Structure 1
Amino acid sequence: MKPRIAVLGCGYWGSNHIRTLKSLGALHAVADANPARAEGFAAEQDCLAIDPAELFDSSDIDAVVMALPPQFHAENAIRAVQAGKDVLVEKPIALTVPDAERAVAAARDSGRVFMVGHVLRFHPAFEQLMALIGAGELGEIKYIHSHRLGLGKFHTENDALWDLAPHDLSMILAITGEEPVEVRGEGAALLDHLSDFAHVHMRFASGVRSHLFASRLNPYRERRLTVVGTKAMAVFDDGEAWARKLAVYRHAVWQDSGHWAFTANEPSYVAVGEGLPLTRELEHFIHCINTRETPRTDGEEAIRVLRVLTAGTVVHDRRQDAAR
């Protein structure tokens, strides 16, 4: 059975949810603070347009996908789960850890599915990368680094770290299976008080080190995750064609007479089945609604990501920067 799902928030990413849910046969209604925008999508997708204030009490809606400005996610998620709706909240889950914890606790107390939109966890190339790691193909993981660079989008509330890094942090935490014991952030604000560049360095109790670099003022686009192991290195490059999205480098490094030596080998490309991450994410949400399983990207996972975001945040004052 397909649950009846409403999308709250008809902006850029909300519109992607709307069209994808329609293709999956699960779109029931749309809601937005701008009634005309909701009515336009309702006419386009042949579904209901509903006032946001009435959405939570509607008995015709089983679940809600929330694609709102993040400062509104927690309060609306709490209203939804307490009204008996399952919820998928877009990233970030909230702007503070206590708000996120309140939303997750409300879902747990209400017995509702609570999922967060860390969509790259459902990318076929990342799933294949996790399978390689699980099979020991890379050996012991030593270092992970992620670069997410491009030009725009610019938000009045979110800086580059909070807008771009949640996906990468979710992948890094999934690979390590632990939270970092040390987080160090560095940012640069060029346009206003919000960082346009962000570096986050992490150290894990297992010995793994990691860093991510996020930028919304970069002249070229890069979407690359690199995992360095004792047997091999793997690169998930979402900018490549499907046949080259996941590469494994079986380089060798050893000591010879007290000196380090190495051989660099050409990459081997791992076959990855094509699939849209958002479609797979929403299929997983529908599956969890029907089976009551815990989502892969549940609320607890989102809180862990939020802790790292909070620890890595650098507050800027341009007046101080100009005085330097």
Structure 2
Amino acid sequence: MPSDLAAFWQMAATDLPVIIVGGGRWGRTWASVVAAARGSGRGITIAARTDPDAVRAWAAERRELAGICIAATLGEAMESGARPVVAIVASRPRDHIRDVCEALQLGLDVLVEKPISVDAQGGQYLLEAAQETGRVLAIGTEFAYLPALHQLAGEIAKRRAGPLRLCLRWDDVAGEFRHGAVKARHAEVGLLSDLLPHAFSIFQAFAPRADWRIVDASEDRSRGRLEFADDAGGRYEFLCDVAARGRKRILKIERDAFNAMLDFGEAAPSIRIEGRRCAVDPQFAAMSSTLRLELGAFLAAVTHSIDTTFIISGMPVLLALQGQLERKIHA
């Protein structure tokens, strides 16, 4: 993927008409990301069922969104301007089945925010719906496009082979203000089910062809632990705390006597290999938005301009892991 990141960055500027379903924090974030990539809000429509007037007021205060349209329904959004080609579903997880299915039936390719659905069964239903309509269905896993992550994965791939041992620490502050609003978890989704797509997509960068399974899982209201294993003897631990004192994103990697660390909790990620700081490749300096890279990868899949098989092929694996997680949690 590293060689494609620059192409994804450029692809995000493509002015394909897009509908963003949901006018909450993530819908507004996506509108800002798409507009920043294109240079304006033209060709962007937000379908905000809950309070479209509030979304209009929010958009009117932002010059960078000039030209954006706000509609009350997906059907109304389809008639608001140039006919949309793609949809970004950023509504509540409990509404994803309704919103994704409606978008697919309208002939749109869909990028859906994680989790794809409140459970694996719902996710499988959406995957089958996309296959039946012949449309692209991708899930949002923005940190899978972090350039520093792929730089480090490339360095480790050069080393002598051996079982990987990874630990990802993921901490958030309760009530954190981010992307213009207070972060809030949705009651219909468990803690680990919500974060599983992030954890898996990050680990998968280091073992892209492995067969995966969940070995152990536990969670309470604010903390969780997931342990994965792969078919080559690799072990992957994910630890999260959403009521921590500070935000933290730290990935530690071991392979035999080799060790490395990636800290991406701040705006500028840092890499350490065997205790020594390693500079992030200068070619990645301008790629400051993982969401823009994710958008570009999705549009590349839609237009078939780049081989993006990985964007689609990972979905069945993720849904299988979600099913395993549900069984572990409810055992």
Q: Same fold (TM over 0.5)?
A: yes
Change in CA separation of 1:83 and 1:294 when aligned onto 2, cut-off 3 Å: farther
2:83 is the counterpart of 1:52: no
Which digits, 9 at most, give the CA deviation of each residue in 1:183-219, with x for residues without a partner?
Answer: 211122xxxxxx3110112222211111110111112
8 Å CA contact 2:217–2:329 kept in 1: the answer is no
- Which residues of 2 match residues 132-281 of structure 1 at below 5 A? 132-134=155-157, 136-137=158-159, 139-152=161-174, 153-155=183-185, 156-176=187-207, 177-188=209-220, 195-230=221-256, 232-239=258-265, 242=268, 245-249=270-274, 266-272=275-281, 273-274=284-285, 275=287, 276-281=289-294
Distance in 1 between the 2:104 and 2:77 partners?
A: 9
- Which residues of 2 match residues 120-131 of structure 1 at below 5 A? 120-131=143-154
Q: Residue 200 of structure 1 aligns to a residue in which SS? A: strand
2:311 is the counterpart of 1:298: yes
Distance in 2 between the 1:11 and 1:226 partners?
A: 34
Change in CA separation of 1:180 and 1:307 when aligned onto 2, cut-off 3 Å: same
Distance in 2 between the 1:40 and 1:28 partners?
A: 16
Distance in 2 between the 1:227 and 1:138 partners?
A: 14
Number of equivalences? 292
2:136 is the counterpart of 1:113: yes
The counterpart of 1:32, out of the listed 48, 54, 61, is 48
8 Å CA contact 2:31–2:44 kept in 1: the answer is no
Distance in 2 between the 1:294 and 1:40 partners?
A: 40
2:111 is the counterpart of 1:85: no
8 Å CA contact 2:47–2:77 kept in 1: the answer is no
1:29 positional shift:
0.7
Distance in 2 between the 1:203 and 1:234 partners?
A: 19
1:138 positional shift:
6.3
1:124 positional shift:
1.0
List runs of 5+ in structure 1 lacking aligned partners. Answer: 189-194, 250-265, 317-324
Distance in 2 between the 1:151 and 1:130 partners?
A: 28
Which digits, 9 at most, give the CA deviation of each residue in 1:216-237, with x for residues without a partner?
Answer: 1112221011221136222121
Which digits, 9 at most, give the CA deviation of each residue in 1:120-154, with x for residues without a partner?
Answer: 011111121232234x2364342111110122244
List runs of 5+ in structure 2 lacking aligned partners. Answer: 1-13, 175-182
Distance in 2 between the 1:236 and 1:296 partners?
A: 26
Change in CA separation of 1:241 and 1:2 when aligned onto 2, cut-off 3 Å: closer
Distance in 2 between the 1:303 and 1:40 partners?
A: 40
TM-score (norm 1): 0.80
Larger Rg: 1
Change in CA separation of 1:32 and 1:227 when aligned onto 2, cut-off 3 Å: same
Distance in 1 between the 2:91 and 2:309 partners?
A: 21
8 Å CA contact 1:180–1:202 kept in 2: the answer is yes
Counterpart code for 1:140:
G
8 Å CA contact 2:163–2:232 kept in 1: the answer is no
Which digits, 9 at most, give the CA deviation of each residue in 1:134-181, with x for residues without a partner?
Answer: 4x2364342111110122244223333233342122111342233433
> Identity of paired residues, percent?
20
Counterpart code for 1:170:
S
Counterpart code for 1:280:
L
Distance in 2 between the 1:72 and 1:299 partners?
A: 22
Distance in 2 between the 1:197 and 1:66 partners?
A: 27
- Where does residue 88 of structure 2 map in the other structure? 65
Distance in 2 between the 1:179 and 1:228 partners?
A: 19
Which digits, 9 at most, give the CA deviation of each residue in 1:23-48, with x for residues without a partner?
Answer: 22274211112221332345342211
8 Å CA contact 2:218–2:329 kept in 1: the answer is no
Q: CA RMSD in A?
A: 2.5
